């Protein structure tokens, strides 16, 4: 038989202490060994390569800082590409003393080509920034600065008085206006002369709106076989509200006021809440800038708007 004191002595023996120490060491070392083995067996991710963005420098494009006349037009081209992760974001930012965002777009593409026509504003200096970002959230950008020439001369303008457009249910006055020949057209005429239709007027639930055929809501007001939804050519005019007073508008004889009011990043596809005395800045489908002063409004779907238009020649 084994005596109890012998068992007790064995528990206190160096042999017993060595065995327990080895046991706990093994418990610690096994996970560490497994971790090292796991890490050594993993393949490293390939190095992340930043996307590339640059200005197009071909003939007809402006790709470097430039001095421009106020009102001068230039074309900017952007080329971007990635060899690692697709491009997921593109932004166009404009700063003439006030930072604005012209375009803020998501995407999923390995490359991008973007063209933009710029009209030099009346600001002494303006900076355009183009930003891309890939799926790995690596961001790259390029910038170009346009400075107004000290020798800038104001351009001539055309003035069109007493233009009256009917709203969508007006049966006697057309709702479509051509900035080219100052003609007012009903829907049938506009359908037959789609490239001539620059401005559209309609009256919504609460307010009159200046728009153009490419504006999203306009097709809902002009329907049928000749409705805007069935057009194959849709002009787009951009609008922005201003703080210009009627008297100042009336006294304008060149495009200095037009250029002062123009904000490249502010233009929307429609000018809403049309009221007498309001002055809208606009950019035509042909890229000309202008101002519209609202003279009178008959507020209903069968009503009308009376306006004066000033536009660059």
pLDDT at 265: 83
Mean predicted confidence (pLDDT) in 253-260? 94
Higher pLDDT residue, 37 or 66? Answer: 66
pLDDT at 10: 43
pLDDT at 47: 72
Largest distance between two CA atoms of the chain: 125
Contacts 24+ apart (CB under 8 A), 262-266: 262/119, 262/121, 262/122, 262/289, 263/100, 263/121, 264/94, 264/100, 264/102, 264/118, 264/119, 264/121, 265/94, 265/100, 265/101, 265/102, 266/100, 266/240
Asked if residue 25 has pLDDT above 80, the reply is no
Residue 276 · residue 297 · CB < 8 Å: yes
Rounded Cα gap, residues 290 and 36, in angstroms: 71
**DSSP H or E stretch at residue 238:** strand 238-241
pLDDT band at 48 (very low <50, low <70, confident <90, very high): confident
Mean predicted confidence (pLDDT) in 280-308? 97
Residue 270 · residue 210 · CB < 8 Å: yes
Asked if residue 64 has pLDDT above 90, the reply is yes
Residues 6+ apart with CB under 8 A from 234: 194, 212, 213, 214, 228
pLDDT band at 83 (very low <50, low <70, confident <90, very high): confident
pLDDT tens per residue, range 104-152: 999 999 999 999 999 999 999 999 999 999 999 999 999 999 999 988 8
pTM of the model: 0.78
Higher pLDDT residue, 59 or 41? Answer: 59
User: Domains plus CATH for the chain?
Assistant: 52-148 (2.60.40.10), 157-312 (no CATH)
Residue 272 · residue 209 · CB < 8 Å: yes
Asked if residue 305 has pLDDT above 70, the reply is yes
pLDDT at 32: 52
| Average pLDDT in the chain | 88
Mean predicted confidence (pLDDT) in 170-175? 97
pLDDT at 226: 97
Asked if residue 15 has pLDDT above 60, the reply is no
């Amino acid at each position: 038989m084994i005596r109890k004191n012998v068992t007790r002595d064995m528990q206190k023996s160096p042999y017993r202490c060595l065995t327990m120490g080895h046991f706990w060491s093994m418990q610690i070392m096994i996970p560490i060994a497994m971790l090292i083995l796991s890490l050594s067996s993993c393949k490293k991710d390939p190095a992340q390569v930043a996307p590339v963005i640059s200005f197009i420098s071909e003939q007809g494009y402006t790709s470097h800082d430039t001095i421009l006349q106020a009102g001068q037009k230039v074309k900017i081209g952007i080329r971007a590409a990635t060899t690692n992760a697709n491009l997921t974001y593109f932004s166009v930012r404009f700063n003439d003393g006030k930072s604005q965002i012209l375009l803020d777009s998501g995407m999923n593409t390995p490359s991008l080509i973007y063209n933009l026509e710029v009209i030099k504003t009346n600001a002494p200096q303006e900076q355009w920034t183009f930003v891309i970002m890939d799926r790995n959230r690596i961001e790259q950008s390029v910038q170009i600065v346009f400075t107004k020439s000290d020798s800038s001369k104001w351009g001539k303008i055309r003035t069109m008085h007493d233009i009256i457009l009917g709203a969508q249910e007006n049966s006697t006055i057309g709702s479509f206006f051509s900035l080219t020949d100052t003609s007012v057209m009903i829907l049938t005429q506009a359908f037959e002369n789609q490239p001539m239709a620059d401005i559209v007027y309609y009256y919504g639930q609460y307010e009159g709106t200046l728009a153009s055929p490419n504006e999203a809501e306009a097709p809902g007001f002009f329907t049928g076989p000749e409705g805007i939804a069935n057009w194959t050519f849709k002009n787009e005019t951009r609008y922005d509200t201003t703080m210009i007073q009627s008297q100042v508008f009336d006294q304008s004889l060149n495009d200095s006021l037009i250029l002062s009011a123009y904000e490249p990043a502010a233009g929307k596809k429609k000018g809403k809440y049309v009221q007498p005395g309001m002055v809208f800045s606009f950019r035509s489908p042909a890229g000309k800038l202008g101002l519209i002063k609202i003279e009178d409004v008959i507020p209903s779907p069968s009503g009308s708007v009376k306006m004066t238009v000033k536009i660059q020649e």
